[in-house]
Structure 1
Amino acid sequence: MKQRQQKKLSQRLFHAILGGDTAAVTAVLRAGVDPNKLYGEGTTPLYLASVTGEADIARLLLKAGASPDTESSGGFGSEGTPLCAAACWGRTETVRELLAHGADPNRREDHGTGRSPLDWANEGPHPATAELLTAAGATASGRTT
C-alpha cells in the first residue's frame, strides 16, 4: 500500500477511535491500515482505544494484529502501554480484552522503568481493575511517582 494512502487510512482510524465508531474502525482495518502504525508524535491506535475505554475497538485492533504491549510514545498524556492506560482510568472491560489477547500484566511503562498496570489501577483507585490484574498475575512495583 502506498505511504500516502496508509497515512490517510491511519488518520481515519484515529478519528474513528476517538468517535467510538466501531463500524468505521472495521472498514478502515478491512481497507488495509496497519493496526500498529503510529500516529502524530507516536501514539498507537491500541493505546488510544485503551485510554478512552473503547473495549470493542481494542478487540478489533487486537484481532487485526495490534501488539498488546507496544508502548506509545506520543506527547504528554499519550505515552505508555495500552494496559497501563486502561488500568489508569479503570477501563476494566478494556483491561480484560488486552489480557485476553496476551498483554503482559507486569509490563512497566517507560521502557520497563516506570509504573506497572497494577500501580496505576491501585492509584486510581480502581479496585475492580486491580482485582482483574491481580488475578492475571500482576504485581505492583511499589513506585508511586
Structure 2
Amino acid sequence: MDMPTVQTEDVHSRAAAQALLNAASEGDSAEVAALLGRGVPVDVTDGQGNTPLLLATARDRVDVARLLVAAGADVNRQNRLHDSAFLLAGASGHLDILRLTLAHGADLRSTNRYGGTALIPACERGYVEAVATLLKAGVDPDHVNKLGWTGLLEAILLSDGGPRHQAIVKQLIEAGANLNLADNDGVTPLQHARQRNQTTIARMLEAAGAH
C-alpha cells in the first residue's frame, strides 16, 4: 500500500509557525521580525490555542509584543483557557503590554474562564497600576464573575488587606464602584473586611458610606 505523502509546503509552513511561536515565547525580536517578513501568519496557534502574542504576553516580552501588534496580532483572541493577550496582561500586571492592548482595540467587556474581566484578577493580585489603567480605560468596576465576586470583593477576600490592596480599594471607591454589592451569600465587602480584621480597608469603606 502506498504511504500517504505529506506536502513539503505544509511541513515548511508548520515548521515556520512553530518557529514563530518559539521565538515569541523566548523574546527573540529579530527572529520574530524575520519570520513575519517571510509571511508567517501573525496569529498562528499552538495546540492550546496560544498565539505568538499570548506567549509573548505570558513572559512579558514587551518588544516582541510590539512587533506582533504592529503586524496586526489580535489582542482579543482567546486560547482554550479563555485567556487573551489583553486579559492575561491585566491578570499578570504586565503594564506595558496591557497598555499596548488597550491602544489596539482591547475588548473591555471580554471575560476569562471565571467570567471575570481583566480588572478582577488585577484587583485580587494587588497590581495597583494595572487596576488604575483598567479603570481609566473604562472597565466596569462592578462586573460580577462566576464566583459572585467583584474586583472589590476579591481585593478583600483573596488578600491580606495590606498596602497594595488598600490602594486598590481606594481606587475602586474613587471610580464609583458599588461598595455594597454582596457576594452570593449576601455578605458585603465591608462585612468581609471586618471578618478578616482588615481594619484599614474597613475604615475606608465606612468613610465612603458602605454598610
- Looking at structure 1, the residues matched to 15 and 82 of structure 2 have their Cα atoms a distance apart, in angstroms, of 22
Shift of residue 64, structure 1, vs aligned partner = 1.1
Partner residue in 1 for 2:27:
20
Q: Is the 8 A contact 2:57 2:89 kept in 1?
A: yes
1:99-129 residue CA offsets vs partner (Å, 9 max, x unmatched)? 111111221124xx71111112111110101
Partner residue in 2 for 1:143:
145
Displaced runs of 4 or more, over 3 A: none
Larger radius of gyration: 2
Task: Summarize the alignment of residues 1-145 of structure 1 with structure 2, pairs less than 5 Å apart.
Answer: 2-73=9-80, 79-110=82-113, 114-140=115-141, 141-143=143-145, 145=147
Scaled by the length of structure 2, what TM-score is found? 0.61
Superposition RMSD in Å: 1.9
- Count of residues in correspondence between the two structures: 139
Specify which structure has the bigger relative contact order, considering alpha-carbon pairs within 8 angstroms and separated by 6 or more residues: 1
Shift of residue 40, structure 1, vs aligned partner = 2.1
Percent of residue pairs identical:
30
Partner residue in 1 for 2:187:
none
- Looking at structure 2, the residues matched to 124 and 27 of structure 1 have their Cα atoms a distance apart, in angstroms, of 36
Name structure 1 gaps, 5 residues minimum.
none
Matched position secondary structure for 1:132:
helix
Partner residue in 1 for 2:184:
none
Partner residue in 1 for 2:208:
none
Which letter maps to 1:42? G
Name structure 2 gaps, 5 residues minimum.
1-8, 148-211
